[in-house]
């Protein structure tokens, strides 16, 4: 069992906590500047702390789940209490070098994950600072593999993964909603249409573990059939290009 401190009990911090609490193997400590979020966290089974110092004194591993612009303030407030601990930052586009300078003496890991952590199905890309010990890396993998699938990668790939891993659940949910609405348009009850799409998504995700997207499409889209006609309309409307450009151009703009 590990004492894990989560600084920031917002959406991501709460999702991470829920993932660990599913197994009830660890004690999860929480701190947030918002009393309302702290109360909500306590209701989930998170040990509430009224000060950052209190949380740091009782936690071996620290997840800094605050907005990027708040990280420096957290580091300054906790100061020496971070030293020697494994400090994990899921903040987008904050460099390892910056994190190591802020959390002096800590074993720093930078990662990208998403809200699927709460059901143990997040994709987790991570990189570590040069001073991060082998023990700390092993501990990170042990803990975060409970939240999904971990891959160690170069820092620039972790940054790029932000837009696939971090934004991915919302983008995919948007498409699911659109397909379910199409079902309603042809006469299906909304609840039934949504359930059909959810299960189809689950089955397709399993197939994509064995086959490429093109192979799955070829297995379903018989010549002249309904699927081929629907995909043809997608091509006419340039749906793939719209999706590709929406993601890529947004990323390039943010990187400038």
Residue 254 in tokens:
């943010």
Residue 117 in tokens:
């952590």
Domains of the chain: residue spans and CATH = 3-154 (3.40.50.720), 168-255 (1.10.3730.10)
Spatial separation of the C-alpha atoms in residues 1 and 4, rounded to whole Å: 9
**Residues 233/247, Cβ–Cβ less than 8 Å:** no
The per-residue pLDDT for 256 is 67
Per-block mean pLDDT, blocks of 10 residues, the chain (256 long): 95 95 90 95 95 96 95 93 96 90 95 95 96 95 96 94 90 96 97 97 96 97 95 95 91 76
What is the number of other CB atoms lying within 10 angstroms of the CB of residue 121? 15
The per-residue pLDDT for 242 is 94
């Amino acid at each position: 069992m590990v004492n894990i401190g989560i600084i920031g009990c917002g959406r991501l911090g709460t999702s991470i906590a829920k993932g660990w609490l599913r197994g009830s193997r660890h004690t999860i400590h929480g701190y947030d500047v918002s009393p309302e979020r702290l109360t909500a966290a306590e209701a989930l089974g998170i040990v509430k702390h009224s000060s950052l110092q209190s949380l740091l004194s009782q936690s071996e591993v620290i997840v800094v789940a605050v907005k990027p612009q708040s990280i420096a303030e957290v580091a300054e407030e906790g100061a020496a209490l971070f030293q020697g601990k494994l400090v994990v930052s899921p903040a987008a586009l904050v460099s390892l070098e910056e994190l190591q300078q802020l959390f002096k003496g800590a074993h720093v890991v930078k990662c990208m994950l998403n809200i699927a952590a709460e059901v143990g199905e997040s994709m987790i890309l991570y990189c570590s600072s040069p001073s991060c010990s082998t023990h700390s890396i092993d501990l990170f993998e042990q803990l975060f593999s409970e939240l999904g699938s971990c891959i160690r990668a170069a820092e620039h790939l972790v940054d790029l993964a932000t837009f696939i891993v971090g934004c991915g659940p919302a983008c995919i949910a948007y498409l699911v909603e659109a397909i379910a609405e199409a079902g309603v348009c042809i006469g299906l009850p909304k609840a039934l249409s949504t359930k059909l799409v959810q299960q189809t998504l689950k089955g397709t995700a399993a197939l994509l573990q064995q086959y490429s997207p093109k192979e799955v499409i070829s297995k379903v889209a018989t010549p002249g059939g309904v699927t081929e006609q629907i995909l043809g309309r997608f091509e006419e409307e340039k749906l793939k290009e719209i999706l590709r450009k929406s993601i890529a151009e947004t990323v390039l703009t943010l990187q400038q």
